[in-house]
Chain A
Amino acid sequence: MSNQFQERSAVIRIIFLVVAVIFIVRLAFMQVFDGEYRRQADRQALRPITQYPARGLIYDRNGELLVYNEAVYDLMVIPKMVKKLDTNLFCRVVGISRDDFEARMRKASKYSTYSASPFMKQISKEEYGAWQSHLYKFHGFYVLQRTLRVYDKPIAAHVLGYVGEVNDNEIKEDSYYKQGDYIGKSGLEQSYEGILRGIKGKRIMHVDVHNREIGPYMNGANDTVAVEGGNLYTTIDATLQEYAEGLMANKRGCVVAIEPSTGEVLTLVSAPCYDPNLLVGRVRGENYLKLLNDISKPLFNRALQAQYPPGSIFKVAQAMTALNLGVIAPGQGFPCDKSLVGCHNHPSARSVQEAIKMSCNPYFYYTYRRIIQQGKYKNIYKDSPYGLTVWDNYMHRFGFGQRLGIDLPNVKSGRIPDTAFYNRRYGEGRWAFSTIYSNSIGQGEVEVVPIQMANLACIVANRGYYITPHLVRYYGPDSTRNEEFYERHETGINPAYFEIAANGMYDVVHGAGGTAHRANIPDIDVCGKTGTAQNIGDDHSVFIAFAPKENPKIAVAVYVENARGGGGYWAAPIASLVIEKYIRGEVTRKDVERMYREAAPCQKLPLTRTVKKKKK
């Protein structure tokens, strides 16, 4: 009898034990082996909030602020939480129509009824201030702060570039970006994106069942603080930039000014210019399309991307090459034989210096022939390719035919034709000097980007070397420098020859029979070289210069498209005004300034494009 009861007591205990074991096993599966519960818990109770850092500021060379940020506000809505809304009041306060309200609410609800989506984007500080006091009445709405770029002076749009929302490709390439983030799309904003953007911070908020924030999760132990973007200290001279843009009003073309000793770009203008404020905020999309479709292509950065025939400025590089190769001597004279290549009326040049001053086309025809046909081979079809290869190498030393390593995106290389190029075009052994002589005067197959033209002026100013043109001196909190912008690129040409070039260029402006008297500035020794580049439309007006002659402070290239006048007529005086403004800080020739500012020399563009792009 007693045994049976002991047994029953044991059965009861076993029942208790079995249940406890079932519970513990179940707990082990839920808590230890299955991670899904944890993920689900985090998903519903934690809300990661990205902290957007302020984008870095951009300063000019004198510490003037070019670009800064302004707070704007996105009005966010969580449709599910919109309750008892006084729609009339809301529409009146926010300034939208009833229909607009319905449409926006529909869009937001379509995205998600439980999570926030933007109801209205980029509301200005003023607008927000006006209805901020009403916001508490509108349940389910809240405001998210963002920043927009602001430009006090509407200048240097092509240098600064613009920012825009990331696209899918950019997100794919760099996981840092999330939908709706901003990224530099062009200019310095693009090339220094990594510096300017800073580092996003992340806060994790603990939210309750009603989606209200209770407080920071783990008291913020896992939060990261946003790191502000690094500032850029550029080489741009805002005053000069603004002045040069003013001079290029009503024209197409560009101005590039560089400090020769450092390679620092003082001014980089591509005309027509546009106000960078146009590509900011809500108006961006509309303005962007307008600019994109403008036939004068204001978004196109001519200074870096336009590949022009250089015209006569190219002769300077030819003279230096020939002298260094020893194919001519400084005192070499050539007759101005217009039967070979057209020229204007001037006495025959008796030296390299005079040839540069008078820009004699036949002189450089002869010079180029001596470079190309060095007599290495009897067969001119072999001799010319050899000479061209030598020449090609020299041109590259001048920075032509290659991308200059400037710190801006999308720089073009221009074109220095090589043997492969001509073999492709004419067939091997089917071309010689007579086919390619136009290169001697900067026509033919040669194409040069304006930044390379300014760089040529720098090389003469430095008497034989250049430093890669650049736009940023240093950046970030540690004032980081780009080491490659301190490296001298030598042409390997005897500096004495450059002295001859400098003298010739001095005579261009100051000497009798020089081609650029309009570039003459009282008390400043300007050295320049004109160019008049032929093309399908009216001639382009080209001028490169540096000043003063000794210890030059500035080198300039000016290119005016279809200007119906030579380099001496349009580009030279514009360059001289830029030089005077920079060196003297003040322009004394007010009448010249006014005249060129107001002039609109450029040939009108056809309303429709006549040249069709080839289909790829």
Chain B
Amino acid sequence: MENKIDWVTLLLYFVILVFGWLNIYAACYDESHAAVFDFSTRHGKQLIWIGISLLLALVISLIDPHIFSSTAYLIYLIVIGLLVVVLFVGAVTKGGQSWIDFGPFKFQPAEFAKFATALALAKFMSSLDIDYRQLRTKLIAWTIVLVPAAIIILQHDTGSALVFASFLLPMYREGMSPQIIIFGFVAIVLFVLALLVNKFIIIGVLAAVALFYLFVWLNKRTRRHYVWVAAIFLGCSLFTMSVDFAFDKVLQPHQRDRIYVLLGKTDDNSNTGYNVNQSKIAIGSGGFLGKGFLNGTITKADFVPEQETDFIFCTVGEEWGFVGSTILILLYLGLLFRLVRLAERQYSKFSRFYGYSVASILFVHILINIGMVLGLLPVIGIPLPFFSYGGSSLMAFTILLFIFLRQDQERTKPI
């Protein structure tokens, strides 16, 4: 049974793509290079990337979708190979060594590692004899995720590596215990609090919460309860006390600065805080309706570094204002909801898992990117999907999305 490609997703994809290109055009607008098809400019080049991406989307729509599940491991291994190759021959850009130079084009394997990992993990998770509770299963699954992430960290591209945390969501959907997500969340909260507040106060509050839970909340108490609460309390306390050590010894100096800036502990708007400060000024100055297309005073004057790539949302905020920014966020939200819906209607576990992976990967990008430009999260340089300037990321996102759309098109009820 052949279904039509999901036109809602397709439409959202196109709208975001066009809106993104308009903002790239505005961000690098220069009256002497105003021509749309001037390929020496970034907006001109982006047109090429969009063309190639659409071609890729078309090719994917034509091939047999079963090929993705059958070649998932192969693709995964090829990408891992490329990631390793980058470690040795990669070009260094902005402190990260993650590009392979092909003369006029540069290629970033880390972008492609995301869909490759999604495919491999989906393939593994949909194996017939899988049992999620087995330690072996968990180990293999985490190995699939963490190997590319680790190599990417070695390339000093922490942002891209962080994206691999997005596989927590599809795994949760498929039945994994939510504990790890909750633990992660609690860890982040404790980490931030430990940097801001006296640690003994935190431990005191933790103790109070634990006692309240045990003696007020619970009606019946068993020994199991006591042991668990004590263990969690101890774990949290130890974690809190070790935050300083981790902060000083594990994180890079620039990462420490970025976190300090976010938490308002340093007020350095000329160095580390400069980007975010300018980004907030650009967005905040947009007002309700924005300054109008091509009328941004901050973005047009190059105050925001990286404004076509990681900080592209500044242009939206400044020129399209609150209305435009909200519309873009709603477009993304619509896309994510649609993808979840499509994933839920899959009959094969492989494509459902893959569908959730697509939604989660896009979500984490949006979360980190917009959170960063709004000054809610530390500066982590990853692109805004379908929106930021950049060939590798646009192609990789397009492949990621269209592989899923192709599977959705070919969904069949098991006989």
Contacts and interface: CB of A to CB of B under 8 A. Distances in A.
Interface of A: 5, 8-9, 11-13, 15-17, 19-20, 22-24, 26-28, 30-32, 34, 36-38, 40-42, 44-46, 206-210, 214-215, 217-218
Given A15-B169, A37-B285, 15 more contacts: A12-B340, A15-B363, A16-B340, A23-B374, A24-B325, A24-B329, A27-B374, A31-B283, A31-B286, A38-B287, A44-B303, A208-B302, A214-B300, A214-B301, A218-B295
B191 interface: no
A30 B303 contact: no
Contact of B283 (A30, A46, A206): A30
A31 B280 contact: no
A13 to B, nearest CB: 6
A13 B280 CA distance: 28
17 contacts: A5-B175, A8-B172, A8-B173, A12-B173, A12-B359, A17-B333, A22-B376, A23-B370, A26-B374, A26-B376, A28-B322, A30-B284, A32-B287, A36-B284, A41-B284, A45-B297, A215-B31
Interface in B302-322: 302-303, 317, 321-322
A27 B317 contact: yes
A38 B317 CA distance: 12
Contacts of A17: 333
Contacts of B132: none
Contact of B301 (A37, A38, A45): A45
A23 B175 CA distance: 29
Interface string B329-369: 11011001100100010000000000010011001001100
A602 to B, nearest CB: 67
B344 A9 contact: yes
A12 B356 contact: yes
A234 B280 CA distance: 59
A143 B251 CA distance: 50
B288 interface: yes
B173 A5 contact: yes
Given A9-B173, A36-B284, A41 B297 contact: yes
Interface string B271-293: 00000000011111111100000
Given A9-B173, A34-B284, A218-B295, A20 B333 contact: yes
B28 interface: no
Contact of A32 (B172, B288, B298, B329): B288
A201 to B, nearest CB: 21
Given A23-B329, A44-B303, A206-B300, A38 B285 contact: yes
A38 B287 CA distance: 8
B146 to A, nearest CB: 22
Contact of A41 (B298, B325, B360): B298
B181 to A, nearest CB: 9
Contacts of B329: 20, 23-24, 27
B71 interface: no
A156 B333 CA distance: 79
A38 B31 CA distance: 25
B266 interface: no
Query: How many of chain B's residues touch chain A, expressed as a range?
Result: 35 or more
Contacts of A42: 285, 297
Nearest to B371: A23
Interface string B244-287: 00000000000000000000000000000000000011111111
B342 to A, nearest CB: 12
B332 A20 contact: yes
B242 interface: no
Interchain residue pairs A-B with the least CB separation, the first 10: A37-B284, A41-B285, A208-B301, A45-B297, A30-B284, A31-B322, A38-B285, A20-B333, A209-B302, A37-B285
B322 A27 contact: yes
B412 interface: no
A591 B91 CA distance: 99
Given A26-B374, A27-B317, A27-B326, A16 B336 contact: yes
Contacts of B363: 15-16, 19
Contacts of B367: 19
A40 B281 contact: yes
Contact of A30 (B337, B344, B366, B374): B374
Contacts of A209: 301-303
Contacts of A27: 283, 317, 322, 325-326, 329, 374
Contacts of B376: 22-23, 26
A5 to B, nearest CB: 7
Nearest to A12: B169
A114 to B, nearest CB: 12
B287 A31 contact: yes
B297 A12 contact: no
Contacts of B371: 23
Nearest to B277: A40
Interface in B397-412: none
Contacts of A16: 333, 336-337, 340, 359, 363
Given A12-B169, A27-B283, A30-B280, A20 B301 contact: no
Nearest to B303: A209
Contacts of A31: 283-284, 286-288, 317, 321-322, 325
A425 to B, nearest CB: 72
Contacts of A218: 295
Contacts of B303: 44-45, 208-209
Contacts of B280: 30, 37
Nearest to A17: B333
